[in-house]
Amino acid sequence: MNDGTLLLARAEISRLRRNRRYLLMTLALPIILYLVIGAQVTTVVDGLPFAAYYMIGMAAFGSFSGALMNNSVRIAQERKEGWIRQLRLTPLPARGYVVAKLLASMAISIPSVVIVLLLGHFVGHVHMAASAWILVAIVVWLGALTFAALAVAIGYRFQPDQVQPLATLIYFIFIVLGGVFFPLGSTLEKIGKFTPTYEAVTISISLAKSQPVDGLMIVGLVIWLAVFVSLAALSVRATAEAV
């Protein structure tokens, strides 16, 4: 990988660490919600203590939100301001900007996943096999890559004032249909099972219960990633001359 791409990714990570809105959505809000709701409810959901269910949901909520919401707006704004055009005058590879955004997004998603899982263990008293903790963290973290790719697709395609409401709407739909905050009823579940959020959460729940993972869920998550990566590539290609 080109050194310029890594330097840009490092700079992007530093910027995101100072972004209060980003930290609010990726760290503060999931932590607060888990402490106020997840760690206090003692019911069992889908054969799993609610504290464990909500832990998985909040880890997904924070990492997915950070990957999509802020990145899509930032990319659209930088494209409008001509920053991407200026980068093309440097030795940075043609796809270096996009790769740097993806790397930064994945790196900054790690704390939200780790902190929420730690809260689940020490505050929510969630008990899982050691391997399950690791696998759940990996699934949720890699699921964020799907939304990072979607952020690129939206950010390159739409103007900054259009991106915010569009990204919010898409994210809200995926979060609700993904069963992140609460288990879905039969009707919503029939629709939600085809969303990447539902697939990531369901895979994680199976791992938490030490049960076999539905292979179709894994395939579905991979398909969503492929679709969003393709959309991102098309958006970048379509706006290549404009930026």
Q: Is residue 243 part of a domain?
A: no
Instruction: Give the pLDDT score at 170.
Output: 93
Tokens of 103: 């790397």
Dihedral (Cα; 207, 171, 116, 43), 10-degree rounding: -70
Average pLDDT, the chain: 89
pTM for this model (two decimals): 0.92
Nearest partner of 57 among 41, 70, 72, judged by Cα: 41
Those residues with Cβ within 8 angstroms of residue 195's Cβ, 6 or more apart along the chain or in another chain: 173, 174, 177, 178, 224
Q: Where are the alpha helices (DSSP H) in the chain?
A: 3-17, 20-23, 29-33, 50-65, 71-81, 83-87, 96-122, 130-157, 160-177, 186-192, 196-208, 215-238
More confident residue, 210 or 25: 210
Instruction: Give the pLDDT score at 241.
Output: 55
Q: Is residue 22 part of a domain?
A: yes
Confidence of residue 27 (pLDDT cuts 50, 70, 90): confident
Q: Is residue 101 part of a domain?
A: yes
Domain span at residue 73 reads 3-238
pLDDT tens-digit profile of 170-216?
Answer: 999 999 999 999 888 888 888 999 999 999 999 999 999 999 999 99
pLDDT tens-digit profile of 141-180?
Answer: 999 999 999 999 999 999 989 999 999 999 999 999 999 9
Instruction: Give the pLDDT score at 18.
Output: 78
Q: Is residue 123 part of a domain?
A: yes
Q: Is residue 198 part of a domain?
A: yes
Structural domains in the chain (count): 1
Tokens of 207: 């791992």
Q: What are phi and psi of 48, to 5 degrees?
A: -130, 135
